Amino acid sequence: DTEVTQTPKHLVMGMTNKKSLKCEQHMGHRAMYWYKQKAKKPPELMFVYSYEKLSINESVPSRFSPECPNSSLLNLHLHALQPEDSALYLCASSQSDRVKLGYGYTFGSGTRLTVV
Amino acid sequence: SQQGEEDPQALSIQEGENATMNCSYKTSINNLQWYRQNSGRGLVHLILIRSNEREKHSGRLRVTLDTSKKSSSLLITASRAADTASYFCATDRRALTFGSGTRLQVQP
């Protein structure tokens, strides 16, 4: 299995809702990532998990709460989002979070989130 | 924050022509990677070049790296309509940090 699977593919939520995005990989990768991408912009790093521990939080607002229950799963819990949080949320994984070693990232297809 | 800037921002060519995209970055790197993204989808890793390499080939892709100028280029030869996508360079900052991207349109 060489894929990263993200669910759901599309999500519409109100500003008072609580929802979760899910990401799964079975490649034995020990690093997993959340990126946010606005239209016609590059992906921006949100969180990095290494060996199931949060290693980087790019000053993301607390309404986004990541969770890594095990080495194959990564969740992003959403609460009290704003319309400007509407974006494509991408999950990725790699063999190691030591980016200077040069491991490529495998990306999922993303969750298109719309906050109304 | 973005590490690199890419130019052009958009490029439209005919099938069979070559496409060249350039990436400039700000800080020193150990390696630079190129990714492709079809509209609204995930990114796909294309090629990696290390800081001690000047040129690398993979199929119809040719990547160059000039660390003295902090720049890289991606050349796609004999382009096809299926190459239509956005292309991003990515540098090895705290995690992969993506450049602004080039939107390539290949007309059949």
List pLDDT tens digits, range B67-85: 999 999 999 999 999 999 9
Q: Give the pLDDT confidence score for residue B1 in this predicted structure.
A: 43
A90, two tokens: 């991408």
Residue B98 sits at the chain A interface (C-beta within 8 Å): yes
Pairwise CA distance, residues A87 & A12, whole Å: 11
Task: Give me the residue from B42, B48, B98 closest to A102, CB to CB.
Answer: B48
B90, two tokens: 């990515």
Residue A89 sits at the chain B interface (C-beta within 8 Å): no
Instruction: Summarize the confidence of residues B15-37 as an average pLDDT.
Output: 96
Query: Taking CB atoms and an 8 Å limit, are B42 and A4 in contact across chains?
Result: yes
Q: Give the pLDDT confidence score for residue A35 in this predicted structure.
A: 98
Please give the residue of chain A at the shortest CA–CA distance from B100: A42
Query: Taking CB atoms and an 8 Å limit, are A100 and B101 in contact across chains?
Result: no
- Residue A101: phi and psi, rounded to 5, are -75, -15
Between A97 and A60, where is the model more confident?
A60
Please give the residue of chain B at the shortest CA–CA distance from A37: B40
Q: Give the pLDDT confidence score for residue A102 in this predicted structure.
A: 86
Residue B48 sits at the chain A interface (C-beta within 8 Å): yes
A61 contact partners, CB below 8 Å, separation of at least 6: none
Q: Where are the beta strands (DSSP E) in chain B?
A: 4-7, 10-14, 19-25, 31-37, 43-50, 55-58, 61-66, 71-76, 85-92, 96-98, 102-107
Tell me the percentage of chain A whose pLDDT exceeds 70: 100
Q: Give the pLDDT confidence score for residue A99 in this predicted structure.
A: 82
Query: Taking CB atoms and an 8 Å limit, are A42 and B101 in contact across chains?
Result: yes
Chain B residues with CB-CB distance to A25 below 8 A: none
A40 contact partners, CB below 8 Å, separation of at least 6: B103
Instruction: Calculate how close chain A gets to B51, using CA atoms only, in Å.
Output: 10
Residue B96 sits at the chain A interface (C-beta within 8 Å): yes
Instruction: Say yes or no to pLDDT of B3 above 80.
Output: no
